[in-house]
């Protein structure tokens, strides 16, 4: 895959997204899609993530984030382009 086929975005998910297994769901879903990056809770009650990988898989993850796991109530997903971190795997990080 060439660098042109890859995409990276940083997202902020707003709503009832903490305490509903959103981060665990994100790790599982991103792994299924073959994405790299990370996810963490933020002290303001949002969830933040960085997704990198094939452009179509990143776009699919963004769509999935709008629904989230069954207990989540997602109000908004805001994304912005990001530099590809070049990391391997997808991890859950501590709250920022």
Of 8, 25, 9, which Cα lies nearest the Cα of 67? 25
Of 41, 37, 45, which Cα lies nearest the Cα of 10? 37
Catalytic residue chosen out of the listed positions 6, 10, 12, 23: 23
Assess whether 42 carries a catalytic annotation: no
Burial track 27-36 (b if 16+ CB lie within 10 A, e otherwise): bebbeebebb
Assess whether 23 carries a catalytic annotation: yes
Tell me how far apart the alpha carbons of residues 96 and 11 are, in angstroms, rounded to a whole number: 14
Catalytic residue chosen out of the listed positions 6, 29, 40, 41: 41
Active-site annotation, residues: 23, 41
């Amino acid at each position: 895959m060439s660098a042109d086929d890859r995409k990276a975005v940083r997202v902020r998910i707003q709503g009832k997204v903490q305490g509903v297994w959103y981060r665990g769901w994100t790790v599982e879903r991103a792994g299924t899609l073959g994405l790299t990056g990370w996810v963490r809770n933020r002290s303001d009650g949002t969830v933040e993530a960085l997704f990198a990988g094939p452009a179509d898989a990143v776009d699919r993850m963004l769509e999935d984030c709008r629904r989230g796991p069954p207990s989540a109530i997602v109000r908004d997903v805001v994304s912005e382009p990001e530099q590809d971190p070049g990391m391997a795997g997808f991890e859950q990080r501590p709250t920022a």
